[in-house]
């Protein structure tokens, strides 16, 4: 791994984000939110029609970027997977990139070339970061799954040992059975 500290920090951040995300959305809630997002987009497009020239293009692109990011956020809230997290990050990067390219139209000559190159570099960096975060999220989810599996296996083994100890106690005569059961309770921390 090239960035071990970045991976650790991102894993902690993704874990915290996964714990604080809203519960999964039903199909009806998802559809209602998609309709709301499209209505907001239509309203933004209507506002953009009042503006002329370069400002209109910038306004339209901003509205399109906001819509795409909101749809990606909704998808991530509905199904918080590493894939959807990456899609959300990429949607944000693309929105910033398209706005930056439109902003570069204000410049001429070499300034425009530099502006476009800066926008491309920022998008490339954001894409790389999104891929890195996806890898971190996948590792985090795998490790959480492994911990759950090990915990479940340990619990299963403990239950088997408890059942075997109880059977051994039941095989003893009545006077030894009470002492045996007390030892089993103490060993397995039973009330």
Q: pLDDT, tens digit, for every residue of 90-126?
A: 999 999 999 999 999 889 999 999 999 999 999 999 9
Average pLDDT over residues 4-21: 44
Residues 6+ apart with CB under 8 A from 19: none
Q: 138: burial class by Cβ within 10 Å (0-12, 13-18, 19+)? A: middle
User: Tell me: the pLDDT tens digits for 65-97?
Assistant: 999 999 999 998 888 888 999 999 999 999 999
**pLDDT, tens digit, for every residue of 125-143?**
999 999 999 898 888 878 8
Residue-wise pLDDT for 16-69, tens only, equals 444 444 457 888 899 999 999 999 999 999 999 999 988 999 999 999 999 999
Give the residue among 76, 61, 66 at the shortest CA–CA distance from 30: 76
Q: Given a cut of 90, is residue 185 above it in pLDDT?
A: no
**What is the pLDDT, as a whole number, of residue 23?**
55
DSSP annotation string for 165-190: HHHHHHTS-HHHHHHHHHHHHHHTT-
Q: What is the pLDDT of residues 153-172, one digit of tens each?
A: 989 998 999 899 889 888 88
b (16+ CB within 10 A) / e for 103-121: ebeeeeeeeeeebbeebee
Integer angstrom CA distances of residue 8 from 13, 84, 168: 9, 20, 48
């Amino acid at each position: 791994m090239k960035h071990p500290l970045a991976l650790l920090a991102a894993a902690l951040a993704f874990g915290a984000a996964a714990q604080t995300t809203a519960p999964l959305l039903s199909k009806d809630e998802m559809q209602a939110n998609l309709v709301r997002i499209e209505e907001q987009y239509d309203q933004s497009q209507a506002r953009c029609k009042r503006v002329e020239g370069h400002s209109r293009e910038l306004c339209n692109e901003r509205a399109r970027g906001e819509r795409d990011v909101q749809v990606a956020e909704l998808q991530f809230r509905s199904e918080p997977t590493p894939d959807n997290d990456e899609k959300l990050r990429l949607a944000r990067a693309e929105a910033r990139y398209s706005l930056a390219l439109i902003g570069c139209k204000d410049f001429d000559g070499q300034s425009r070339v530099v502006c476009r190159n800066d926008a491309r570099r920022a998008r490339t960096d954001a894409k790389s970061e999104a891929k890195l975060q996806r890898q971190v999220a996948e590792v985090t989810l795998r490790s959480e799954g492994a911990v759950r599996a090990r915990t479940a296996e340990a619990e299963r083994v403990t239950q088997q040992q408890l059942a075997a100890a109880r059977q051994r106690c039941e095989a003893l005569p009545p006077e030894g059975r009470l002492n045996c059961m007390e030892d089993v309770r103490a060993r397995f921390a039973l009330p």
